[in-house]
Every structure is written in C-alpha cells, then in structure tokens.
Amino acid sequence: MREDSLNPPSFTLLQKLIHIRWIFVLLVIAVAFIGVAMLFSAANGNFQPWASRHLARLGVGIGVMLCIALVDIRIWLKFAYLFYGFSLILLILVEVMGFIGMGAQRWLDLGYFNLQPSEIMKITLVLALARYFHGMGMEDIDRPTRLLIPLVMVGIPTVLILRQPDLGTAIMLVMASGGLFFVAGVRLWKFGALAVLGLALMPVSWQFLHSYQKRRIMTFLNPESDPLGAGYHIIQSKIALGSGGVSGRGFMQGTQGHLRFLPEMQTDFIFTMLAEEFGMIGALGLISLYILLLVYGFAIAMRSHSHFGRLVGMGVTVTFFLYVFINIAMVMGLIPVVGVPLPLISYGGTAMMTLLIGFGLLMGVWVHRDVVIGRRGGDRA
C-alpha cells in the first residue's frame, strides 16, 4: 500500500528534517518574538533582564523541539509509561522535599535550573494516556472498568499538584486529559456523570483549598469588593485592557504597565500589556496567530495514521489551547486568577520548555504521520 511509496519506515534524518512543518516553526518563532518585544517593553526598553533570556530560551527550546521531532514516534510510544512514572516520582519528590522544608514547593533545584515536575507531567501524562487509548479497541472504550486506569493516571498527579498548591496546572492537567478522553471516544454521558460528581464534591473540595485560593475565587466573583486588596490586580488589568482601545497606546506607551499599576506584567499579565499598547488590533492579531497554530495542531493530529500520533497531537494542541484560553480569560476577568502563563510570550523558562517539547512531539507526529503502529506497539507496516 502507500507505506511502500510514501512511508518508508525509516526516513533518513535529512528527509525527516525536510518533512518538518517549517511554517509552523516560523509561526512559533514569530509568536515568541512578540514575547521578546513585550518583555523589552516591560523592562522599559531594556533587553535585560527578561527579553534577552527569553530569546536565549527560545533558541535552546527550538533546538530541543527539532530534536524531539526527529525521534521516531514509536520510541515515545514505547517509553510513554516510563516517562510518566519518572515524572510521577519527581512529583512525589517535590512533595517530600516540601514536607521536609516545611513549605510549599513546586520545583526541584538542579543547580543550573529549577525543574518543575508538574510541567513535565503535562507532557508525560499526554504520552501515557495516548499510549493507553492507543492500545484499546473501539469496543473497550465503552467498558467503564477500562477507564479506571486512565482516571487513576490523571488523578494521582492532579492531587499531588493540587497539594503544591498549583490550581492552574491541576486544572490544565484535568482538562487536557478530559480532551483526550473525549477524542478517544469516551461516551458523552460519562463526562456528564463526572461533571455531576465534581459539582457534588465542590463543597468538600472548597475545604481543601488554601485561603489565598479561596480569596482569589471570591474576588473573581466580585473584584470591586476589595479594590485595593486582592481585587486590585484584576481591576487594574481590565483598566489597562480597556484603555488600550482599538489601536492601543503605542509600543512602550502603556501607562498602566509602565507605571506599575499592572502586576506581574512580564509573566501572567503580559497579554494585558500587549492589549494596552497595541489595542484590540494587536490582541486579536496575537489570538489569530494562536489560532493558526491550533489549526495546524488539529490538522496534524487528524492527519496522523497512528492513533497514538493522533492522541499525542491532540493532547499537545489541547494543552496549548488551555494555556492560551486560561491566561487570556483570566486577565480579562472572565475566570479567576489561577497563574497560567501566556504561551511563548510570558517570561518563564519552564512553561516555554514544556510547550516547545510538546510542539516537538507534534512535529514528530507530523513527520511520522504515515507510520502505522499496531495496537501493541508493533510495527504493522
């Protein structure tokens, strides 16, 4: 069949390199450069301390992304559970260290850089779930017992991350997994049942939330109730967005950002700054770029000939979408402030690395789109 002509199971590295979706890579770089520009503005026209490091991380990240893209997809399938297990151990390690250090901790200090296991989990969980659903037939999906294992796979890291506490990452993990369950074919009523269960558990889970998390949710519901306290961030963010108008105040001219009314403008609230300085035109432009990347992601996932590839592609795309949506909705005051960065633009190494690793996998799915993999991982070509 076509694999004889189109899908020689072993491309040379050069062939693989040519097959990478370079337009996608360029789009990623373009968005990241918008980030560089905004970080330059956030530092009042200085490359230090953020823009230059953002650029350096981008360089490293693109390299990592391309390397991952070239790795045979079957290797990821093979080691999916191993990676998952490894990151689960790291998460537990953080928990233990936090316990010893008598305080909340999200990362492991590795000397050169801080490793956030929760970020790694975002990728490895996608891989693990993709592998699980890949090895499951259509008929197995309808058997509730078969869903127990993936639910546990999602549940354990979620609980660990919630304990850190990192509500944003936990939500992203759950929602990305939900997306995977959905495209894998889990019946809709089961989602409904889960949602009802979640709602029923809400009063209970409220007890487990930290006071600052409770406060954030309360201020989200009524930010004006405490304009100088916890609601301050979101009010200032809305003022900045609104004052940008259609065309914006101009590059480096945003008053809310530059006069420090805007909190955390180099990280979580960088979209606000962009929308203040470039207005609705700029904001919609950026969202359009994100949409292009998402469309590519969808297209790549749907085009793959392996179920694993499809699921990984979709998992990465959904994760990316969640970053975008949660961050923007958060700074606009549509959802509570949960601390999710704007992908490729916010300053922060871990999130960028997570995304570029994810995009590397996505590229890998594209490069190996015609590789057909058997349910047990065997090569059926």
Partner 1 sequence: MLRDNERHKHFNRRAAILGGGKALLLSILAGRLYYLQVVEADRYRTLADENRINLRLLPPLRGRIVDRLGIPLADNQQNYRVLLIPEDARSLHATMNALDQVIPLSDGERRRILRDVKRNRSFVPVTVRENLSWKSAAQIEVNSPDLPGIMIDVGQSRSYPHGQELAHVMGYVAAVSPAEQTGDPLLELPGFRVGKAGLEKIHDLRLRGKSGSSQVEVNAYGRVIRELERREGEPGAEVNLTIDIALQRTVNHRLKNQSAAAVAIDVHSGEVLAMASSPAFDPNAFNQGLKVADWQALINNPRAPLINKAIAGRYAPGSTFKMIVLLAALERGVVNTSTQFFCNSFINLGDARFHCWSKHGHGFVNANDAISQSCDVYFYEIAKRTGIERIASMAKRFGLGSPLGIDLPGELAGLVPTPKWKRQAYEAAWQKGETVITGIGQGYLLATPLQLSVMTARMVNGGFAVTPRLTRDVSGLKSGDSENEQKFKSLGIPTRHLDIVRAAMGDVVNSPTGTARGSRIEEPEWKMGGKTGTVQVRRISKSEREQGVVKNQDLPWKERDHAIFVGYAPMENPRYAVSVVVEHGGSGSKTAAPIARDILLEAQRRRSSQSTVARVVGSLETIQKKRDN
**List of residues contacting partner 1 (CB under 8 A):** 137-138, 179, 182-185, 236, 238-246, 255-256, 258-261, 275, 279-280, 283-284, 287, 291, 294, 298, 301-302, 305, 307, 310-311, 314, 318, 321, 324-325, 328-329, 332, 334, 372
* Nearer CB in complex with partner 1: 350/366: 366
Side-chain half-sphere exposure of 160, counting CA atoms within 13 A? 26
Q: Least distance from C-beta 347 to partner 1, angstroms?
A: 20
Residue 115 or 331: the one with the smaller Cβ distance to partner 1 is 331
Inter-residue contact 187 to 151 (CB < 8 Å) = no
352's enclosing H/E stretch is helix 349-367
Q: How far apart are CA 253 and CA 85, in angstroms?
A: 48
For partner 1, give the closer residue by CB, 100 or 376: 376
Residue 21 CB, shortest distance to partner 1, in Å, is 18
What is the smallest separation between the CB atom of 260 and partner 1, expressed in angstroms?
Answer: 4
Q: Structure tokens of 109?
A: 């200090």
- How far, in whole angstroms, is CA 286 from its chain's centroid? 17
Q: Which is nearer to partner 1, 136 or 170 (CB)?
A: 136
Q: Please name which of 284, 285, 292, 347 lies closest in space to residue 317, comparing C-alpha atoms.
A: 292
Torsion of CA 296, 300, 81, 321, to 10 degrees: 20
Q: CB 135 → partner 1: shortest distance, Å? A: 12
> Smallest distance from the beta carbon of 287 to partner 1, in angstroms?
7
Closest CA to 169 of 323, 3, 59, 24: 323
- Integer Cα distance of 216 and 195 in angstroms: 22
Which helix (H) or strand (E) covers residue 362, if one does?
A: helix 349-367
CA atoms of 300 and 313, how far apart (whole Å): 7
Q: Between residues 213 and 243, which has the closer beta carbon with respect to partner 1? A: 243
- Nearest approach in angstroms of CB 208 to partner 1 is 27
Of 37 and 283, CB closest to partner 1: 283
Which residue, 158 or 272, has its beta carbon nearer to partner 1?
272
CB of 277 to partner 1, least distance (A): 12
Cβ closer to partner 1: 160 or 326? 326
- Who contacts 256 (Cβ-Cβ below 8 Å, separation ≥6)? 236, 239, 240, 243, 262, 272, 273, 276
- Name the minimum Å distance from CB 289 to partner 1: 12
b/e 323-335 (16+ beta carbons within 10 angstroms → b): bbbbbbebbbbeb
Residue 24 vs 88, nearer CB to partner 1: 24
Burial of 302 (C-beta count, 10 Å sphere; 0-12/13-18/19+)? exposed
Q: How far is the CB of 345 from partner 1 (least distance, A)?
A: 15
Q: Is 139 exposed, middle or buried (0-12, 13-18, 19+ CB in 10 A)?
A: exposed
